[in-house]
C-alpha cells in the first residue's frame, strides 16, 4: 500500500537534539575536533569595548567563515542564509535550532573592520598551522612555492593610464584607493616598469593576462607548502606580477622561519622563480634550489650559443671555439649582467665568424652576476631529490585547482591588497583544516590548540 507522509509542521514542542543529527564522519565534526578558538578570542579582546551592547560573538563569525570557505559559499548574505537553514552548519557554529544568525550587514562590518585591524585571519591561519605541526603533518624539509592569478573585483573595462588619474578626486576617496596611495613607494625602483593601466576601484591589483585567459585585473595567490602532506605553511597576496610573486617567496620563507622555526632544506618551484637573483638568495640561505633555471642564452638561429664557449673561472674569461678569449671590464649592466667581449681583431679573421657573430664586428657574451648560483641550480637537475621535488611541486597546483574548481574561487569579493590577503588567509586555513580533518586523529579536548 502506498504510504503517505504524516507530519504536523505546526507542532510547538519537539524532542530534537542537533548533536544527534550530525554524523561522526561529517567534515565539520572532524574539523571541530581540531578547532579551539579560546586563545583566538583572547587575542581579539583588546579590539572590543568593555562597555555597551555585546557584539556578535567573534567565534561564531569565524566558524561561519570556515563553513563558507570549506563549502564554497562566497557571498556573505548567502552564508547567513545557509547557516540559518543547514543543521550541520548550525551545529558547527554552536547555534541551537532557534539560535540567531547575525545579519549579513553586521557580519560584514565586523569582518572588514575589527578582524582586519586585529590581523584575526593570520592568527587563525597560524593557529591551525600549529595544530598541523603538532599532528606531525609538517616535515619541514621540503617546501614548494607557486602562485595563481585570481581576478580582482574590478571591471576590466574601467582601467585608466596612471598619468590621467586625479587621485584628489573625492569620488576616489575609497578604502582600496587610500590603502594603495598609502603603500606607494616615494622613491620607486627605476628598474621596475610602471603599470600601463590602473583600476580605479582596486588600484593595487595588476593588469595581467597571466591566467591564460582574457586580460584582467588580478591578484597573485602565493602558497608556500610543505611537500610531505601539502600543508600550506604560508600564504601571501601580491599584485599578479611575477616580480612581486618571487619577492613574496622571500617574505614567506623569512616569516615561516621566524614564527615557526621552519626552514626547508630544499625549495621546489617552476621556471618563473629561476632568476639569478632569487637562486643566489636561496643558495645564501643554504636552501637547495630545486628550480629550473630561467635561461635565454640558447640561440635559435643556428649561431653559436653561450654553451659553446667555456668559462674559465680562475682567469674570469670565456674561451671561444676558436681558442680566443672574451674578457669583461667588470661593469655591471642593468644591475645584473656582465658583458664578456672578444677582440675585434680576432673575430675579423676568424673562420667561424658567420656561425658566431654574423651581424656584429665582435662577439659579446652576457653573464649573470649570479651565474654561480644558476650553475649550482643546473647541477642539481637530474638528481633523485630534484626529480622527487619536481613531482611534489604539483601539490601546490592541485591546491589551486581545488580552490578554483570545487570552491568557485575564481574572482575575489573583497578589494584592495588587504581584502585579497584576508580572502587568501581564509582559503588557506580552510584547506589546511580539511587536510587536518582527513589525516590526523582528533586530539583529546585538553590538548587542542588553535
Ligand atoms: S668570431 Fe670571435 S668569438 Fe667567435 S669564434 Fe671567432 S674569434 Fe671566437
> pLDDT per residue over 338-390, tens digit each?
999 999 999 999 999 999 999 999 999 999 999 999 999 999 998 999 999 98
48 ligand 1 Cβ < 6 A: no
319 domain-assigned:
yes
Q: Phi/psi zone of residue 145: left (φ > 0), alpha (ψ -120 to 50 degrees), beta?
A: beta
Lowest mean pLDDT among 1-15, 274-288, 336-350, 390-404: 1-15
The answer to whether 45 and 405 have CB atoms below 8 angstroms apart is no
Predicted local distance difference test score (pLDDT) of residue 52: 67
The predicted model gives 293-312 an average pLDDT of 87
Helix, coil or strand: residue 332:
strand
325 ligand 1 Cβ < 6 A: no
Predicted local distance difference test score (pLDDT) of residue 449: 47
Q: How many CB atoms lie within 10 A of CB 176?
A: 24
324 ligand 1 Cβ < 6 A: yes
Q: Do 145 and 268 have their domain in common?
A: yes
The predicted model gives 412-430 an average pLDDT of 92
288 domain-assigned:
no
Centre of ligand 1 from the C-alpha of residue 321, in Å: 7
Residue with the bigger pLDDT between 332 and 104: it is 332
Calpha distance 17→372 (Å, rounded)? 67
301 domain-assigned:
no
Predicted local distance difference test score (pLDDT) of residue 447: 53
Predicted local distance difference test score (pLDDT) of residue 309: 94
* Band of pLDDT at residue 195, cut at 50, 70 and 90: confident
Predicted local distance difference test score (pLDDT) of residue 213: 66
Q: What are phi and psi of 84, to 5 degrees?
A: -65, -40
Supply angle C-alpha 371, 292, 431, rounded to 5: 130
The predicted model gives 175-180 an average pLDDT of 88
What residue owns the CA closest to ligand 1's atom 7?
A: 347
Q: Do 82 and 148 have their domain in common?
A: no
Pocket test for ligand 1, best of 303, 339, 349, 353 (most atoms within 8 A of CB): 353
383 domain-assigned:
no
90 ligand 1 Cβ < 6 A: no
Q: Do 265 and 405 have their domain in common?
A: yes
Predicted confidence (pLDDT) at residue 192 exceeds the cutoff of 80: no
Q: Do 265 and 146 have their domain in common?
A: yes
The predicted model gives 24-37 an average pLDDT of 88
124 ligand 1 Cβ < 6 A: no
As for how many domains the chain has, the answer is 3
435 domain-assigned:
no
Q: Do 64 and 193 have their domain in common?
A: no
Predicted confidence (pLDDT) at residue 208 exceeds the cutoff of 90: no
Calpha distance 268→176 (Å, rounded)? 34
Q: Do 250 and 224 have their domain in common?
A: yes
Centre of ligand 1 from the C-alpha of residue 176, in Å: 56
Atom of ligand 1 nearest to the CA of 304: 4
Angstrom CA distances, 342 to 105, 240, 308, 336, stand at 70, 41, 14, 20
Predicted local distance difference test score (pLDDT) of residue 29: 92
**What percentage of the chain has pLDDT greater than the value 90?**
53
Atom of ligand 1 nearest to the CA of 323: 8
Q: What is the mean pLDDT of the chain?
A: 87
Pocket test for ligand 1, best of 342, 345, 359 (most atoms within 8 A of CB): 342
Q: Do 400 and 340 have their domain in common?
A: no
Predicted local distance difference test score (pLDDT) of residue 40: 75
Q: Do 264 and 311 have their domain in common?
A: no
357 ligand 1 Cβ < 6 A: yes
Atom of ligand 1 nearest to the CA of 326: 3
Calpha distance 245→226 (Å, rounded)? 18
Each as own residue / partner, the long-range contacts of residues 424-427 (CB below 8 Å, 24 or more positions apart, any chain) are 424/221, 424/235, 424/236, 424/237, 425/121, 425/122, 425/124, 425/125, 425/235, 426/65, 426/66, 426/69, 426/121, 426/124, 427/69, 427/221, 427/235, 427/403
Query: E strand or H helix at 157, and its extent?
Result: none
Atom of ligand 1 nearest to the CA of 353: 1
Q: Do 266 and 151 have their domain in common?
A: yes
Q: Do 396 and 267 have their domain in common?
A: yes
365 ligand 1 Cβ < 6 A: no
Query: E strand or H helix at 225, and its extent?
Result: strand 216-226
Q: Do 317 and 402 have their domain in common?
A: no
27 domain-assigned:
yes
Q: Do 144 and 69 have their domain in common?
A: no
Predicted confidence (pLDDT) at residue 105 exceeds the cutoff of 60: yes
Closest listed residue to residue 431, CA positions, set 168, 225, 179: 225
347 ligand 1 Cβ < 6 A: yes
235 domain-assigned:
yes
The predicted model gives 143-148 an average pLDDT of 94
Centre of ligand 1 from the C-alpha of residue 364, in Å: 10
431 domain-assigned:
no
Predicted TM-score (pTM) of this structure: 0.87
Domain range for 148 is: 140-272+391-421
* Band of pLDDT at residue 78, cut at 50, 70 and 90: very high
Amino acid at each position: 500500500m502506498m504510504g503517505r507522509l504524516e507530519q504536523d509542521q505546526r507542532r510547538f514542542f519537539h524532542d530534537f537534539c542537533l548533536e544527534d543529527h550530525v554524523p561522526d564522519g561529517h567534515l565539520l565534526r572532524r574539523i571541530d575536533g581540531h578547532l579551539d578558538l579560546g586563545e583566538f578570542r583572547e587575542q581579539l579582546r583588546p579590539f572590543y569595548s568593555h562597555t555597551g551592547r555585546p557584539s556578535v560573538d567573534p567565534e561564531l563569525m569565524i566558524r561561519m567563515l570556515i563553513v563558507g570557505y570549506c563549502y564554497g559559499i562566497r557571498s556573505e548574505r548567502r552564508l547567513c542564509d545557509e547557516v540559518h537553514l543547514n543543521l550541520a552548519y548550525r551545529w558547527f557554529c554552536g547555534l541551537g535550532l532557534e539560535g540567531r544568525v547575525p545579519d549579513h550587514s553586521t557580519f560584514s562590518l565586523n569582518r572588514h573592520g575589527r578582524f582586519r585591524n586585529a590581523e584575526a585571519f593570520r592568527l587563525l591561519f597560524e593557529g591551525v598551522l600549529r595544530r598541523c605541526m603538532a599532528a606531525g603533518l609538517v616535515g619541514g624539509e621540503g617546501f614548494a612555492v607557486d602562485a595563481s592569478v585570481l581576478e580582482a573585483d574590478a571591471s576590466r573595462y574601467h582601467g585608466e593610464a596612471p598619468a590621467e588619474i586625479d587621485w584628489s578626486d573625492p569620488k576616489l576617496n575609497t578604502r582600496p584607493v587610500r590603502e594603495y596611495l598609502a603603500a606607494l613607494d616615494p622613491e620607486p625602483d627605476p628598474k621596475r616598469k610602471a603599470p600601463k593601466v590602473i583600476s580605479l576601484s582596486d588600484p593595487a591589483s595588476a593588469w595581467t593576462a597571466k591566467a591564460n585567459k582574457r586580460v584582467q585585473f588580478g591578484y597573485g595567490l602565493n602558497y608556500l607548502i610543505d611537500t610531505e602532506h601539502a600543508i600550506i605553511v604560508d600564504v601571501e597576496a601580491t599584485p599578479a606580477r611575477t616580480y612581486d610573486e618571487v619577492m613574496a617567496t622571500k617574505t614567506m620563507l623569512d616569516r615561516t622561519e621566524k614564527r615557526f622555526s621552519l626552514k626547508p632544506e630544499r625549495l621546489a618551484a617552476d621556471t618563473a622563480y629561476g632568476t639569478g637573483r632569487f637562486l643566489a638568495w636561496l643558495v645564501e640561505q643554504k636552501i637547495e634550489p630545486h628550480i629550473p633555471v630561467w635561461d635565454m642564452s640558447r640561440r635559435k638561429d643556428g649561431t653559436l650559443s653561450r654553451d659553446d664557449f667555456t668559462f674559465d673561472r680562475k682567469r674570469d674569461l670565456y674561451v671561444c671555439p676558436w681558442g680566443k678569449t672574451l674578457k669583461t671590464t667588470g661593469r655591471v649592466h642593468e644591475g645584473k649582467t656582465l658583458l664578456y667581449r672578444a677582440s675585434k681583431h680576432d673575430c675579423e679573421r676568424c673562420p667561424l665568424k658567420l656561425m658566431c657573430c654574423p651581424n656584429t664586428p665582435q662577439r659579446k657574451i652576457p653573464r649573470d652576476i649570479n651565474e654561480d648560483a644558476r650553475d649550482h641550480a643546473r647541477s642539481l637537475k637530474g638528481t633523485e631529490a630534484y626529480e622527487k621535488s619536481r613531482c611534489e611541486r604539483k601539490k601546490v597546483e592541485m591546491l589551486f585547482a581545488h580552490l578554483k574548481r570545487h570552491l568557485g574561487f575564481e574572482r575575489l569579493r573583497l578589494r584592495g591588497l588587504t581584502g585579497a590577503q584576508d580572502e587568501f588567509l581564509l582559503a588557506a586555513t580552510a584547506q589546511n583544516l580539511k587536510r587536518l580533518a582527513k589525516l590526523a586523529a582528533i586530539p583529546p579536548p585538553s590538548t587542542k590548540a588553535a
